[in-house]
Structure 1
Amino acid sequence: MQSQLSPTPASDDRTTEISQKLTWMREALQEAGASGLRLSGIDWFAWATAGGSNMVLLAADTGVAEVLVTLNGAWILTDEIEAQRLQDEEVPSSSDYQWAIAPWAKKADRESFVQKVTQGGKVISDIEGNLPRSLIDHKRMLLPSEIDRYRQVGKLASEAMTEVLTQASPDWTEVQLAGAGAAALWTRGLRPALTLAAGEVRLPKYRHTLPKQEKIGRMAMLVFCARGFGLYANLTRFIYFDQLSEQEATRHQQVREIEAIALDHCQTGTSLNQIYHTLKNAYEQQGYPTAIHEHHQGGTTGYLSREVVADPETSDRLYANMAMAWNPSLVGAKIEDTFLLHEDDRLENLTLDPHWKSIEVNGRQRPLPLEKF
């Protein structure tokens, strides 16, 4: 029987997690000298509700409900269309959240409620971009309960990837491949935030290959950004319907070696721009001095597909219990998995599927292109 994302975790576990996060949110209020804190982004709502979702439109940044926290209260703000479903399925009844439900046609009622409970004081929010850095760090450094959920998301996303590519055939179009990937994620309870697919013709031309009505031919790449409990599992795999050429095999090997150098530098306290420059040097050593400019290289992940993308100026640092996904690439070759950094600087691959053929690189199992012929 195909495994699926479990129902939202036990309410007692979520209630404990929410209680801790409410403490952090109230500390942020005091730090900012604010009377209220509002979180309406899909990423922040999932964080604040221990895995709940306020999403209806898949591509939206904000959802149909938001969190409001003051020093003395905490509410889920939503309308009468969404309230019952959210109460039944997304927010544990045992949590400290109360409900403020307004008529869907009277948006001003919500704002009046916010003004009332904050007494017209300063309100900080994710939308305004004025949350204290301390709260942002709490979102990015995962609690044990969040890590448990993340492991489940990563396992299911990697299994979906393996299922689809082992079933694929050269006469599939790119949109068929991407659609099969999305279906495999949905049936496991994951949301396909991104399914990129490219075949023989378009893969050498573009890094971000939005699927088209083009047959994939002798090779294909499939990319997932799969979201479950608000957390993103990011991974990339390749399939060839004949044996890799010597040049293709060499480029995939080079990408694995470039990634390995970056992963070796992923330690607590390391800045993302250090990783960027490490990757830049690794490309140059492999004979590709301009490759660093041809695609972003990834960065930290979690409640966003990329919390922070590494670039030459990014001073954000890696800390224990942060997740990351690097995606170095060359023409026709790319590698990507989602890793968790532990306190001892060990990296745990959250998207490793033991059923996918891999090779050990610097002590880590890394995916090989699937050869199917």
Structure 2
Amino acid sequence: MISASVQNSSFNTHYAAEIARKLELMRAALSDGVTGLRLRGTDWFSWATAGATHTVLLAAETGAAEILVTSEGAWLLTDEIEAQRFIDEELPGRDESAGGYKLFAHPWADSTARDTFVQEVAGGGKILSDKPSTSSDFTELPIPASLITHKRVMMPSELERYRLVGRLASEAMTEVLLEAQPDWTEYQLAGAGARAMWARGLHPALTLAAGEKRLPLYRHPVPKHEALGRVAMLVFCARGYGLVASLTRFVYFGGLSLEQAKLHQQVREVEAATLDASKPGVSLREVYEAIAQSYTQQGYPHAIQEHHQGGTAGYLAREVIATPTSTDSLAENMVLAWNPSLSGAKVEDTFVLSNGGLKNLTLDPNWQSIDVNGRARPLPLER
């Protein structure tokens, strides 16, 4: 999570109101014999708790606690190993005294105690869950689409936290690429990126790195023991308060060739078409079609098939990825992370969508940029 100095900020004042509103939304989903809502996933846990985290293993989709909500109560469920840490570090400002969650802790070795408690407080009714269990003695059903939509539209307090996460992530990126050296390996670059995120209280949910050799070959270059050489790409998905900020940057040691500069320019043009198409009420399918058309105009009609182009973001790096058959529509206060790419070039930032346009959450003002359709877009760093 974010460092202690940040946790003690004005964000604490938003917890009670935000959690109260989310409890209203969760309880509104209870009907027709459904008496409880159980949230297990990392994304839903942070959403329901106004940015708390239950993460222990970064790679896991679930964590050391879950949320249970009924019409009469709300609980954070965990075991006795984790209980005191949650009391000390995650529940303050989110607990029962603030209108939030009670704590239920069970012996770690008693795997049935949690389900027994859920059955008791839910009165034996059906349970909604983001990860419905098939092994429970009671029925668990998927979360309704209406509640999923609420999760994907940010409240003002969530956007305030998101702006902080984006700023810290972009500063970490700038720091690392100003330090990087051509004889570093991709492992070293990715490690420096992860270190810079951790130093700012961010979880390095994803850190990709590619040097001169592997950059043209793979869209998702998991780092290897390969020297960077004359160019490197670094990709972050940085998580703070459960919110994920994504960005990609390049560094060139010795400068870009004319061919490389043109490639990056073309990717920026594709992104400009993407961002121009991203408006409230527009479907992800329509944005996808705009991306496909722009690739064709740039002379790369098959590029859209070579990598997903991104989509909506939030408590997941991508809440929904745009496809030719997407039915989801964009709405005000949704967050977007598009990532158009060509072989050897890519552009990616995280934006919040409003009626006034798009606001970039991840562009460090200290990073050199260029105006594209009225937006500051990052240039490759030349060193």
TM-score by length of 2: 0.94
% identical aligned pairs? 61
Kept in 1: contact 2:33–2:125 (CA 8 A): no
The structure-2 alpha-carbon separation of the partners of 1:190 and 1:127, relative to structure 1 and needing over 3 Å to count, comes to same
Kept in 1: contact 2:232–2:251 (CA 8 A): yes
Kept in 2: contact 1:39–1:45 (CA 8 A): yes
SS at match of 1:348: strand
Matching of residue 282 in structure 1 with residue 260 in structure 2: no
Kept in 2: contact 1:268–1:345 (CA 8 A): no
Task: Identify the match of residue 267 of structure 1 among 279, 294, 300.
Answer: 279
What residue is the counterpart of 2:29 in the other structure? 28
Unaligned runs of 5+ in 1: none
Task: Identify the match of residue 346 of structure 1 among 334, 340, 357.
Answer: 357
The separation in 2 between residues aligned to 1:209 and 1:333, in whole angstroms, is 13
The separation in 1 between residues aligned to 2:337 and 2:12, in whole angstroms, is 30
- The alignment covers a number of residue pairs equal to 368
* Deviates further, 8-17 or 257-266: 8-17
Kept in 2: contact 1:4–1:188 (CA 8 A): no
Task: Identify the match of residue 317 of structure 2 among 300, 305, 308.
Answer: 305
The separation in 2 between residues aligned to 1:350 and 1:211, in whole angstroms, is 26
Kept in 2: contact 1:5–1:152 (CA 8 A): no
What residue is the counterpart of 1:50 in the other structure? 50
The separation in 2 between residues aligned to 1:107 and 1:273, in whole angstroms, is 44
Matching of residue 110 in structure 1 with residue 114 in structure 2: yes
Task: Identify the match of residue 244 of structure 1 among 256, 267, 284.
Answer: 256
Matching of residue 120 in structure 1 with residue 141 in structure 2: no
Kept in 1: contact 2:44–2:130 (CA 8 A): yes
Q: 1:56-104 deviations in whole A, cap 9, x for unaligned?
A: 0000001110000001111111000111111111123324211111000
Q: Give every structure 1 segment of 4 or more consecutive aligned residues whose post-TM-superposition deviation is greater than 6 Å.
A: none
Kept in 2: contact 1:320–1:345 (CA 8 A): no
TM-score by length of 1: 0.97
Superposition deviation, residue 44 in structure 1: 0.3
SS at match of 1:38: strand
Kept in 2: contact 1:5–1:156 (CA 8 A): no
What residue is the counterpart of 2:61 in the other structure? 61
What residue is the counterpart of 1:71 in the other structure? 71
What residue is the counterpart of 1:178 in the other structure? 190
Kept in 1: contact 2:183–2:227 (CA 8 A): yes
Kept in 2: contact 1:39–1:68 (CA 8 A): yes
Unaligned runs of 5+ in 2: 133-140
Map 1:1-373; keep pairs closer than 5 Å: 6-7=6-7, 10-30=11-31, 33-91=33-91, 92-93=94-95, 94-128=98-132, 130-342=142-354, 344-372=355-383
Kept in 1: contact 2:186–2:225 (CA 8 A): yes
Amino acid at match of 2:313: T
CA RMSD of the aligned region, Å? 1.3
The separation in 1 between residues aligned to 2:117 and 2:4, in whole angstroms, is 39
The structure-2 alpha-carbon separation of the partners of 1:4 and 1:107, relative to structure 1 and needing over 3 Å to count, comes to closer
